[in-house]
Structure 1
Amino acid sequence: MKQAAYDEIRRLIVTLQLRPGERINEQIVSDRIGIGKTPVHQALQMLSAQGFVQIIPRKGIRIMPDTLHDALDVLEARSVIEGELARFAAHRSDTRIIDQIEQNLALGRRAIKQKDFEDFTQIDRSFHEIVAVAAGNIILSETLKALHDRIARIWHLRTWKLDHLQKTQEEHTTVFRAIAARDGDAAALAMRAHLDTLRKNIVDARIVT
């Protein structure tokens, strides 16, 4: 129940159904998600440790906003970690992983053609998760998952344009080609260039303050 409460509260935060700066309490959350106060309390403690909420004694709980500094810090950490994950994936992936990435890219092309931004968001995250799994390092993969969670809200803070999705798709393809060619250096560089594009989009769009 604690995990179920955590997953649901995090989903509400990431999708902005609980807005940055909003004040809540355990009873409100418990009633909203239909889970008892004890697992909700435990879940909120976990979310506090991860920076999603601020627990204020005797005053309730505040949904933490994302600042530009926070977003850039997360992307900097992702760049370091995911660059190496892509490098490892180039050396360690097998034909099954290559097929999974190809399938992911095909789904991405379809989502762009259909202008399905929500679907593309999930496909984008799946791409990075497949590469992380291919790298074969559980510790780095788990660290990356936490970083993805921290920055997931950014996808809901603005309306992304179709050319952003097309650029992401192109960069994913470049990473894939380097991995398929077993070129670790090229894979690392391509992944870091991809995340640098995201960083520039966030700064240019001023979607966080």
Structure 2
Amino acid sequence: MPRTSPPKRQQEDAAAAPAPAASLGEQAYIAIKRMILTQELRAGDQINVAQLSEQLSLGRSPIHLAIHRLDREGLVDILPRKGILVKAETIDSFLELIAARLLVEPHLTGLAVDNATPALLERLRAVVAAGWECNQRQDRLGSMEIDRQFHQLLYAAAGNDILAEFAGSLLDRSMRLWFRPPAGKADKPNVAELEDLYNMVERGDKKAAVRRMEQHIGSVRGKFLSRE
């Protein structure tokens, strides 16, 4: 028998249904990662599961799950019988990180242009608008979250879950740059670069969008090196 679509009311109810609450492991992962990215936990800090469990009011099992996930992402080192070390990003490791992003993200951007839908464009446009508001308030944490949302929307639209997950972990590692002291006033705010990308995706200009993403990642490299 041919498949039939669910009734419109049923589709609307499903769309309006609240997202399921994050698991305890996911909650721990998000909380600890945010502490690292915002430098509440600094590179070189030694922490332990008991300390994090008490601080976050979560059991040890979800903390263990989160720590092993962060270890796989390269944000912490698990030291047997010593605890957990928040990893520093050296110049060499950061340059390797940027090189990996340059291999993956322009490709995902091109795929996202191929797969762009009105819904994607609407969401990207809303993220850019929110980014300008954060820029006006000089809200660095909010601007960081805007950057992540924009990139992750492109990753998801590309339609390659494996590459999208890998790109997301690379992006999160490079987010630390947002919380380093600025070397001076940037020539162009980050959200302006995102707006350029949005305009190219909206026009369906794949070649220009790929090139702009390469330049965007290159600007991250320049900002990092200017602080050394």
Could you say what secondary structure the match of 1:187 adopts?
helix
Amino acid at match of 1:191: M
Greater fraction of residues in helix = 1
For the pair shown, the structure with the greater C-alpha radius of gyration is: 2
Counterparts in 2 of 1:155 and 1:37: CA distance versus 1, 3 Å? same
Paired residues of 1:52 and 1:63 also in contact (CA < 8 A) = yes
Paired residues of 2:182 and 2:227 also in contact (CA < 8 A) = no
Matched, 1:112 2:135: yes
Q: How does 1:61-76 map to 2 (within 5 A)?
A: 61-76=84-99
Partner of 1:35: 58
What is the CA deviation profile of residues 148-169 of structure 1, one whole-angstrom value per residue up to 9, with x for unaligned ones? 22222221122476536x3423
Bigger mean CA offset, 85-94 vs 33-42? 33-42
The alignment yields a C-alpha RMSD, in angstroms, of 1.9
Counterparts in 2 of 1:58 and 1:113: CA distance versus 1, 3 Å? closer
Rounded to whole Å, the distance in 2 between the matches of 1:110 and 1:2 is 32
Rounded to whole Å, the distance in 1 between the matches of 2:172 and 2:79 is 22
Paired residues of 1:22 and 1:63 also in contact (CA < 8 A) = yes
Counterparts in 2 of 1:113 and 1:24: CA distance versus 1, 3 Å? closer
Structure 1 residues without counterparts, runs of 5 or longer = none
Paired residues of 1:85 and 1:135 also in contact (CA < 8 A) = yes
Amino acid at match of 2:58: I
Matched, 1:135 2:158: yes
Could you say what secondary structure the match of 1:61 adopts?
strand
Structure 2 residues without counterparts, runs of 5 or longer = 1-23
Rounded to whole Å, the distance in 2 between the matches of 1:185 and 1:168 is 21
What is the CA deviation profile of residues 117-146 of structure 1, one whole-angstrom value per residue up to 9, with x for unaligned ones? 222221111111122222222222111111
Amino acid at match of 1:40: I
Paired-residue identity, % = 29
Higher relative contact order, structure no. (Cα contacts within 8 Å, ≥ 6 residues apart):
1
> Which of 168, 190, 194 does residue 212 from structure 2 map onto?
190
Partner of 1:47: 70
Partner of 1:123: 146
Shift of 1:188: 0.6
Residues paired across the two proteins, number: 205
